[in-house]
A and B are shown apart, each in its own frame.
Chain A
Amino acid sequence: MSAPHPLRLAAPAAFVLTLLTCPADAAQPAVDLGSVLPAWSALPFVGILLSIALFPLLSPRFWHHHYPEVAAFWTLALAVPFVAAYGRPAVGEILHMAIADYVPFIILIGTLFTIGGGILVRGTLRGSPIVNTTIMVIGTVLASWIGTTGAAVLLIRPLLRANRERRYTAHTVVFFIFLVANIGGTLTPLGDPPLFLGFLHGVPFFWPLSLWKEMLLVALLTLAAYVAVDAYHWRREDPSVRAPRTAPREPLRVEGRHNFLFLAGVLVAVFVSGIWHAGGVSILGVHQEIQNLLRDAFLLLMAAGSWLTTARRTREENEYTWGPIREVAILFAGIFATIIPPLLMLRAGEHGALAPAVRAVHSPAAFFWVTGGVSSFLDNAPTYLTFLSTALGRLFPGVPEREAILRLISEQGAYLQAIATGAVFMGANTYIGNAPNFMVKSIAEEAGVEMPSFFGYIARYTLPFLVPIFLLVTWVFFE
């Protein structure tokens, strides 16, 4: 592997540069930036999200090789004028985002991916409707505890192997994307990146569990739809495929089982960091809780433990590489940098340049559909943060974020429920709504499954199956 091009490091380097050069008191903003930033300062944020959404569809080869340069471009397009115009307050905001959000986020995602990549399911299964449904249920339940990406990586290859002899398999992969790669990740901050970002911003660890009713309704209806569709396609399969198998089967077994212990360690560490208050320290002027720093160190320990104790062959058969972690690190450096102005403006409510946007979305149902609609096409993690800030700006303008979030939960809980479920559920609407979707599609295609096109996915699956379910969710929970 050749040395990385300098531009590829620019996005995370923008953060590192500020860490090394800014004075200790740079993180004390002297002005309310949210009320003075112009609306066009959100353009780099829009630009990077659109790049992440559109380049894989329009120019996947270019994007695969040059996404770091694109991320660097948008990061610098924000960072340079932002710091030049506002000086120390701007540097303070960037530092705060880097230390309080970016670093913990990358550590969690990297840890979950490393541990999940060390678990391999072997064995011969038969892709009957019962087996497929069982795998879907297991994946949906697991997703909240090991992450949607981890659950998808763990189960997609066994599912594809089980269906190897079937002619009609694309629908199974699509519903896997619905259930395991999206809906299943609703119940804990580990389940889906938006929920972890909410946790980092002050949403209590167990709060997502309160979404169990919404998740149960959506998961059960989606599963029921899948059972009906798979049963239909099973009847169309060749009789030799449907006949009971007589050949000896390889027994089902899980390699790298000890990694579930590391996952348990991650869960405990994140949970404890939410309830234990060990005091705070200042890192380059950014207040950071000690328990969060200990959590992040512990997570790195879990990742290292998984790496050192898992057989290399297991990871090779999972096609584990550092690529996805590198992607997340580089792209989210750009996302976290460029999201600063829109978040500040939205939180400023009526006093910010995005006041029309704050006023435009005004009910839980509206937040559900607008957050979900945007999450369908732009990554759902920054979308969640954006609309959380919109809600805070509308309902509690000027209130410090952590206090505002707690008040949001206690006084206007339906808004956060709508934003969280909109972001998590509707990441399933398209291939680009959530990170694992494209990954699952790609793995399926390499296994010989012809997947629907981008618009085919929406027309044949999202519109007839998911949208009616989401309309029902709106009526039951948000009207």
Chain B
Amino acid sequence: MSVWYEITVRGTEDALRGLVAACEAAHGGKEAVVFGHDLDLEAGTLPQRLLELFAAGSHHLVFAPAALAEEVVAALRSRGREAGLELETVREVVRARVPFSAEAFSRDVAEKLRQKLVMGLPPGVEGENLEETEAQDPSARGAELYTPEHAYVYRIVGTFVGPLPGIIEMQRRARNLPFVKVKALELQTRPLETPERA
């Protein structure tokens, strides 16, 4: 499975998107870069949050698989300056994770959630600390006016862990399901041993 890299760039988003589009086309269009703005990323440490607050709009994160990341870094180094773009850091994405929880009140929806969240996960993605519970209360069956309580409750809580593309897919999949709450994507990255090249 391809390694992914996080590339931090200073400059305008429009210029960066233009440069990235050119790299994707040159790469044959087989792979795509993911922009950090398009993901719900956890803000991270306090310095990172402050940087995001005060430098909002001037710093951008992009994520790409190894071969495409190499082309983007090369393009930034060779013609980034004339587009007003500056390469800041390149880090390897070691692991991604996204916590989630869900609560449903019918067996149909519970089964649908189970199919989408527990079975058929993308390659390399695992469910960590998954807890599934079902509770039934026959006394709550039927319409209630002042004491609403569901006769059936299905709950699941856990974290998806794995490679970045698989976790992005799970975050997108969970967001499209009813009754699911998804938290921000958390990334574990490390600096490159040779930061000169991806």
Q: Contact partner of A449 among B139, B142, B144, B178, CB < 8 A? A: B178
Q: Does B150 contact A (CB under 8 A)?
A: yes
Contact A438 B146 (CB under 8 A): yes
Contact A321 B141 (CB under 8 A): yes
* Residues of chain A within 8 A of B109, CB atoms compared: 448
* Residues of chain B within 8 A of A450, CB atoms compared: 178-179
Given contacts A446-B106, A448-B108, contact A64 B147 (CB under 8 A): yes
Contact B145 A64 (CB under 8 A): no
| B-contact 0/1 string along A437-469, CB 8 Å cutoff | 011011101111110000000000000000000
CB closest chain-A residue, reference B143? A439
CB closest chain-B residue, reference A53? B146
Bound: A450/B152 CA distance, A: 15
CB closest chain-A residue, reference B112? A448
CB neighbors of B among A384-401 (8 A): none
Bound: A443/B151 CA distance, A: 11
CB closest chain-B residue, reference A318? B143
Q: Does B55 contact A (CB under 8 A)?
A: no
Q: Contact partner of B145 among A60, A436, A445, A447, CB < 8 A? A: A436
Which secondary structure dominates chain A's binding surface? helix
Contact B147 A445 (CB under 8 A): no
Q: Contact partner of A61 among B105, B145, B149, B179, CB < 8 A? A: B149
**Residues of chain B at interface, number, CB under 8 A:** 22
Task: Select the residue from B105, B108, B145, B151 with max chain A CB neighbours within 10 A.
Answer: B145
Given contacts A445-B105, A446-B150, contact A149 B145 (CB under 8 A): yes
Contact B147 A67 (CB under 8 A): yes
Shortest C-beta distance, B144 to chain A (Å), equals 6
CB neighbors of A among B56-90 (8 A): none
Shortest C-beta distance, A460 to chain B (Å), equals 16
Contact A323 B142 (CB under 8 A): yes
Q: Does A265 contact B (CB under 8 A)?
A: no
Contact A64 B142 (CB under 8 A): no
Given contacts A64-B140, A321-B141, contact A446 B105 (CB under 8 A): yes
CB closest chain-A residue, reference B179? A450
Q: Contact partner of B146 among A56, A61, A65, A320, CB < 8 A? A: A56
Q: Does B148 contact A (CB under 8 A)?
A: yes
Bound: A82/B175 CA distance, A: 55
CB closest chain-B residue, reference A450? B178
CB neighbors of A among B131-164 (8 A): 137, 139-152
Contact B144 A442 (CB under 8 A): yes
Contact A64 B141 (CB under 8 A): no
* Residues of chain A within 8 A of B144, CB atoms compared: 64, 323-324, 327, 438-439, 442
Bound: A52/B140 CA distance, A: 17
Q: Does A13 contact B (CB under 8 A)?
A: no
CB closest chain-B residue, reference A442? B148
Contact B141 A56 (CB under 8 A): no
Q: Does A207 contact B (CB under 8 A)?
A: no
* Residues of chain A within 8 A of B108, CB atoms compared: 448
Contact B178 A331 (CB under 8 A): no
CB closest chain-A residue, reference B109? A448
Contact A52 B178 (CB under 8 A): no
Bound: A446/B150 CA distance, A: 8
Task: Select the residue from A67, A149, A448 with max chain B CB neighbours within 10 A.
Answer: A448
* Residues of chain B within 8 A of A63, CB atoms compared: 147, 149
Bound: A52/B150 CA distance, A: 17
| B-contact 0/1 string along A57-76, CB 8 Å cutoff | 00011011101000000000
* Residues of chain A within 8 A of B140, CB atoms compared: 64
Q: Contact partner of A321 among B106, B143, B148, CB < 8 A? A: B143
Q: Contact partner of A435 among B146, B150, B152, CB < 8 A? A: B146
Q: A323-B144, A439-B148, A442-B149 are in contact. List 13 more A-B contacts (CB 8 A).
A: A60-B149, A61-B137, A64-B140, A319-B142, A320-B143, A324-B145, A327-B144, A327-B147, A442-B105, A442-B143, A445-B105, A448-B104, A448-B106
Query: Which B residues fall within an 8 A CB radius of A?
Result: 104-106, 108-109, 137, 139-152, 178-179
> Can you list 7 residue pairs at the A/B interface with Cβ under 8 Å?
A149-B145, A320-B142, A324-B142, A441-B148, A442-B150, A448-B178, A450-B178
